[in-house]
Amino acid sequence: MRTATSTLDLREPRTLDEALRVLRDDGPRVPLAGCTDVFVTLHFGTQPARRFLNLWPLDELRGISTPGDGAVLRIGALTTYTELVRSEAVNEWLPALVAASREVGGAQIQNRGTLAGNIANGSPAADTLPVLAVAEAVVVLRSADGERRVPVGALYTGYRATVIRPDELIVAVEVPRLPGTQWFRKVGTRAAQAISKVVMAGVRGPEPRVAFGSVAATVVRVPATERCLAGGGSIEEAQRVLAGEIRPIDDVRSTAAYRLRVAGNLLRQWWEETA
């Protein structure tokens, strides 16, 4: 590892309240959940931060439940991919998140990587984000001063930029019941252990919902394409609308032209498979 660990300052709070007080009183620190994203930056010596806050022991941030009258599925911030895959409630409410979780990294990453880590890291290629976008999930943020709920659609302000304040932590994600059939597909260089070139989640219900990853600076819903399909447009028309609605880029993983083509193909595949 290129970063000397002796240069790092790590706080290990025992409770969530203590963690939030540390963030309020002691200044900004990078929260560590499963550390699968942060470790890569430490390994390559590209992590600018020196002050960290270990969330991993905080069991208050774990657990999957359907609180109150069962109107929402609440997933704790530290829930790992393995836990999502094994959860009966997630399999019932949000099978697309199970499908996405199965395709994240390998077994080691799935055992350690968390849902909140994927959200906060905010990569446009993050596999859970298109699912959370079509599910219209709400991210629960807490600071020492209180709690607020931010819809996933309002969380990102640009490439890997979020509205999460330095004194806030993601404590949970809440997902309402989704009307319709859920669908997820990730296209990468190979079938497993690959970062997405294009990733899509869709819901085929009274109002079709579609979100893509890796086609813009953030994961995006495609409202014009959704409206076209909701209004009875053909899949060919929707593909044309989609082509004008997303602006993928060329980068090390793929080309804009390939991404545009694959996005259109995924749209069609979703529409045909959920007919």
Ligand X SMILES: Cc1cc2nc3c(=O)[nH]c(=O)nc-3n(C[C@H](O)[C@H](O)[C@H](O)COP(=O)(O)OP(=O)(O)OC[C@H]3O[C@@H](n4cnc5c(N)ncnc54)[C@H](O)[C@@H]3O)c2cc1C
Binding footprint of ligand X on the chain (CB under 6 A): 30-38, 40, 55, 77, 104-105, 109, 112-114, 116-118, 120-121, 126-127, 164, 169-170, 195
Q: How far, in Å, CA of 248 to CA of 255, rounded?
A: 8
CB nearer to ligand X: pick between 36 and 182: 36
Residue of minimal Cβ distance to ligand X:
117
CB nearer to ligand X: pick between 169 and 241: 169
Minimum CB separation of residue 27 from ligand X in Å reads: 15
CB nearer to ligand X: pick between 58 and 241: 58
Minimum CB separation of residue 141 from ligand X in Å reads: 8
Minimum CB separation of residue 232 from ligand X in Å reads: 34
CB nearer to ligand X: pick between 187 and 229: 187
Minimum CB separation of residue 76 from ligand X in Å reads: 9
